[in-house]
Each structure stands twice: as C-alpha cells, then as structure tokens.
Amino acid sequence: MNSVNFIGRLTADPELRSAGDTQVCKMRVAVNTGKDEAAFIDVEAWGRSGENCAEYLSKGMQVGITGSIKQDNWNDKDGNKRSKLKVSAFRVDFLSRTVDGSAAPAPAQQQMVQPVQTSIDSDSIPF
C-alpha cells in the first residue's frame, strides 16, 4: 500500500508549471515531526487541483495532503545518479485562512475539513 496523509504549512508560494498538456503545481510542506523538528516534503498536485493550489494557496498556509510516494531518479551534471522522494497529491485540503487573514475560498475540487461533532446520550445506549 502506498498512501500518505499529513498536515503542514507551505514553506513558499506554490509554483505552477506545464507538463505537456497538463498543469502541475509544485509545493514544499513543512510537517512537525517532534519537539523543534520538522520534515520538509515536496508535493506535486496535477491538473485542476494543481491550478487551484497555485491560485488560492500561499506561503505559511496550512494544508492537508493525501497522496502517494513517488521517487524521481536522474543523473546530475557530473553523471552521478541521484534520487528524491516526493508526494503526488490526489487531495489537497485548504485548512487555514490566507496570510492577510481573509477566509481562503474552497474550490469544488478541494474541501475544507469540517470537524464532526457528535454527542451520545448515555440513556439511549441499550445495555
């Protein structure tokens, strides 16, 4: 199984580029991994999802990412083999307000995470 879920903050504004006929948005997300520790994860969002990320997200905003791990392999300018792990997102949740404090719009392809509140009346439990 190749699935990842995490929440973090963008370390820079997202970058939108063309990959043939499709748009890809590249982002770097800082994820808290412990006391005074963070992991920096490269994320790609493709197509309309990537376009929405580039339009509505900016540095410092909190996002939730669901996706899969991919490995890039290439040769550097000296001919040495290099590789890097990244996440290919198939869901990006906009979790915070914009940097100026206004509410971030929630495009149709992205949904804000809404906490579910439930209460159970102890008198209704059948035991």
Number of neighbours of residue 14 by Cβ within 10 angstroms: 23
- What is the rounded CA–CA span in Å between residue 119 and residue 33? 32
- What is the rounded CA–CA span in Å between residue 50 and residue 55? 9
Compute the average pLDDT of residues 25-54: 94
Residue 122 has pLDDT above 50, yes or no: no
Residue 112 has pLDDT above 80, yes or no: no
- Residues whose CB falls within 8 Å of the CB of residue 16, separated by 6 or more in sequence, listed in order: 23, 24, 25, 50, 51, 53, 54
Question: Which tokens in the block code for residue 124?
Answer: 């209704």
pLDDT value at position 16?
96
Residue 94 identity? F
Residue 116 has pLDDT above 50, yes or no: no
Tens-digit pLDDT profile for residues 56-98:
999 999 999 999 999 999 999 999 999 999 999 999 999 986 5
Domains and CATH numbers, the chain: 4-100 (2.40.50.140)
Judge if pTM exceeds 0.95. no
